[in-house]
Structures are given as structure tokens and as C-alpha cells.
Amino acid sequence: MAHPAGDVTDAEVLNMSSDQIDERVRQLDEEIRVMRDEMRKIAYNIKTMGTKTKENNKQMQKYMKMPWLVANVVEILDLADDQAEGEEEGSSSDLDALQKRGAVIKISKGLVMFLPRIGLVGPDELKPGDLVGVNDDTYHIIAKLPPHFDRRVKAMEVVERPTETYSGIGGCETQIKELKEAIVLPMTKKELFIKIGIHPPKGVLMYGPPGGGNFSLFKELAKTLLARAVASQTKATFLRLSGTLLNQVGLGDGAKMVQNAFELAKQKAPAIIFIDELDAIGARIFEFAL
């Protein structure tokens, strides 16, 4: 007997008795019922997960609500197994790995906190000295703060292209000549130094009382104006730090400020870093006998 095209027949079914066919139909009905139950469970799980996701999003918005506390990352630590918090059901291996690293932070209020759970920022994204925003209740890290939020960066004077010239500085012809040889030429003609096998200078120490030009018997150096004029001639970014400020900030902040200055100088190269009032850093401590 010929079968029409597209009518698929099973030779095994054709050889079955009526009872066997009925049994096969019952088996298929049972399989369909099981599949439908699984589909209902999956649909229910999807709905439940959707509800949980909405609740988590609401909690996240509440969790991230500003204002945040400002803190510095002191250290990232690898936790021992007994220090890591218990794993939640369904947690992924990546999450488990993150939970095995903690952080020590120093909050602006002067508190030092240990966080076995860091928060919303992964430990690989953090390094000591980073400025972060933390929740004012749990102290978990919410986000890294960009560099311009850091008061240490704000403490620097940054001028992209200074406009000062040597003509506005009187009585410093010798110093101007020496600066051109020590700073300007190495920046503009570095290949000449390399060609003759000389390492070009990378900095100079400018000393003298405050003031400028011929207004002093000793022809005091107009140090800031000279540095800005050099930056203008070399088309370099001018970064100014105060030695007094470096000496007044908290423990470790001065070193971090210098590090930030050099990192910023690399980003804005060519750049000149001018540290004013340098003598404030090495002030002597005198002992007085009573």
C-alpha cells in the first residue's frame, strides 16, 4: 500500500496490535504531561526570578543612594577559608572567588574598616590608595571615584599651556640660559644628547628667597615664573605642587600626591612638575632644653 508524500509511517507501529498502540499512546500522553509540568515550573521560576530581580534593583538603588562616605583603599587581602563568609545557594564560582578576597579601607571620618565582602567593585579593580565611595551603613564599596574627585589632585595647579615668557622676568638672564640648557634642550632636542652619548637632565633645583627680578639685592629668582616660561617654550603642561601642603597632609597622603602628579604628567606629556616651597619638606626639628 502506497502512502502519500509527507505521511511518515513507522514500520514498528504498523506491526503493533491495538493494545500495544493504546499503551504507546498512554506513554506519549504521560511524556506530554511531564513536559507540560516542566514548562509550568520553568515559567514559574522565570516569573519568580523576574520578581526577585525587580526587588534587587530596588534594593540596589536604595543601596547606592547618595551621599556616600569617602574612603581610601589601604590593602586588598586574600582571605583564609575560615574567614570567608558562607556561600549562598546558587552562587557562582566567580562570585565565590571574589568572596575570598577582602579589603581594608580608611574612611574619611578616621575609621579603619576591614571588609570581608568588598561590595560592588571587584578586588581586581582596586589597588591601595584608590579613592572610593562607600555606603554609610554597611561601608561596602559602591564605586571608585574618578581622579578629579580626589582632593589631592585638586591641590595641584594644572595649566595645559602656560603663556608666560622670559621677557617678563628681569634680572635672571644667567638663570634663563641655564634653564634652557638643562630643561628646554633635553625636551626639544633629546636626540642630540642621545647621539653624543649623554643622558639628558630630567630636573633642576632652583633655590633662592621668594620674590623676583631686580627687587632684591641678591637678584632673587622668580622661580614660578621661570618654570611656567619653560613650560610655555617647550609646549608642556605645567603642574605645580606646594611643599608646604605635602608636609601638612595626613600620613601617606603626601607620597600619594606626588605619585598622582607623576601619573598625571605621564597622561599629559610633555609635562613639567614644579614643586614650590621644597624647603618645607626637609624642615629641621630643634631640641630645646628647659
pLDDT tens, residue by residue, 148-173: 555 555 667 778 888 888 888 877 88
| Residue stretches of the chain with pLDDT short of 70 | 1-10, 81-99, 108-109, 147-155, 209-221, 248-252, 282-290
Rounded to the nearest 5°, which phi and psi values hold at 174? -65, -45
Question: Tell me, what's the pLDDT at 216?
Answer: 42
Q: What pLDDT score was predicted for residue 154?
A: 61
For residue 16, what is its C-alpha cell? 503493533
Contact 39, 46 (CB under 8 A): no
CB 139 within 8 A of CB 113: yes
Residue 32: the pLDDT is 94
Distance, in Å, from the CA atom of 121 to the CA atom of 140, rounded to the nearest integer, reads 9
- Cβ pair 118, 125 in contact under 8 A: no
- Check residue 149 and give its pLDDT: 52
Q: Determine if the pTM surpasses 0.85.
A: no
Please tell me the predicted confidence (pLDDT) of residue 5.
41
